[in-house]
Amino acid sequence: MGRMPKALLLENIHPFAAQSLRERGFDVETMAGALGEDELIAALDGVDLLGIRSKTTVSAKVIDARPQLTAVGCFCIGTNQVDLQYAGSRGIGVFNAPYSNTRSVVELVICDIICLMRRIPAHTHHMRHGLWDKSATGSHEVRGKTLGIVGYGHIGSQLSVLAEALGMRVVFYDIEEKLALGNAQRMPTLQSLLEVSDAVTIHVDGRKSNTGFFGEDQFSQMKQDAIFINISRGFVADLGALKQHLDSGHLSGAAVDVFPVEPKKSGDPFVTALADEDNMILTPHIGGSTLEAQEDIGHFVTQRLQDYWFHGSTMLSVNLPQITLKACTSGARITHLHANLPGKLTDVNQVLRKAEINITAQSLGTQDELGYVVTDVSTRPDAASLEALRTINGTIRMRVIS
């Protein structure tokens, strides 16, 4: 009997993930915080499936040190913490949860907009320091105000709908062509959005080109007394420039949930120059951290990992050719990930034909430099045939699923 497959889950992933994997026969270890590169390499000894959130980095060094790793589940939206291309080139599937915490993020943005427009952080600060300041000065309803959404993806578009339901006018800017929902208006440039928006909120992805894209020039183009919100990525906004525009009185408030450098785990110290700002909301990267969202993410990503491990299905993988598969009903299933070179399907079939093994079903998918063939066969190939499949030119990873 072979060893039990092993899974390592970091960063307080929802308990459902560990429970589900244990029920499917995995030896599961859980850890509360993130791990640094060397710590992660040590912890991955013998691990087949890794679950992380946003603080653990899976680099090429980690992948090279632990080549037996089969899949990484990112229990969050972003995947920029994983070297996706390198992982794919070593046969490691990566999966995430692109939709599961969308509602949680959107609700926090709505909350921040209302609180900042009503100057709730400033009033709370004054009350805590013994000052009774009952005044409507600087406080506004959100109804009739213009919300500028930078990045109109899953989060930005859902935010658009809810903000419009509150009576806000919605404008958005995206580098890609996006369908406007409701009465939202697409703006031709980022500057044109900033010039008309009473509130600006950032919802861009983790691509490297977004690093520092919202800086002094963009803050300078915002309306007098506008508010700024970033619940997307910590590296997209220049917080020093934000502080200057708050201190000068140009902007009336801000909410920041993500930072360029964040602690690895809860309880670690954290210092930011924004802490002394008057009308400021600071939250510790909790945009998607509701019990409902974390449970949904736990279900979604765990199912993707199990489908890949037990069936070879790459549905919704972010770095492998996508093939959707159900359980194998014949003798065995062979998954063959390879360099996307001509003739690989023929090479696989020739090995099986030589061994006189009947093919009952077969699927092929390609994506950029990778090809993925999944073949159901009537009988499990012998050791010589499996070795022949492994040594096909361009093979990256071959697995047999019974």
Which residues have a catalytic role annotated? Answer: 233, 262, 285
Residues 6+ apart with CB under 8 A from 352: 359, 375, 377, 381, 385
Q: Of the candidates 311, 315, 332, 334, which has an alpha carbon nearest to the alpha carbon of residue 323?
A: 315
Cα(31)–Cα(15) distance, rounded to whole angstroms? 11
* DSSP state letters, 337-379: EEE--TTHHHHHHHHHHHTT--EEEEEEEEETTEEEEEEEESS
Residues in the chain, total = 402
Q: Of the candidates 343, 387, 378, which has an alpha carbon nearest to the alpha carbon of residue 364?
A: 343
Q: Of the candidates 353, 356, 326, 351, which has an alpha carbon nearest to the alpha carbon of residue 338?
A: 351
At which residue do the structure tokens 């997307």 appear? 232
- Do 124 and 116 touch, CB atoms closer than 8 A? no
Q: Residue ranges of the alpha helices (H) in 57-175?
A: 60-65, 84-89, 102-117, 120-128, 154-165
**Beta partners for residue 375, in sequence order:** 334, 362
Residues 6+ apart with CB under 8 A from 316: 95, 98, 304, 322
Cα(133)–Cα(318) distance, rounded to whole angstroms? 52
Phi, then psi, of 145 in degrees rounded to 5: -85, 160
- Do 376 and 330 touch, CB atoms closer than 8 A? yes
Residue ranges with strand state E in 3-105: 6-9, 27-30, 49-52, 71-74, 93-95
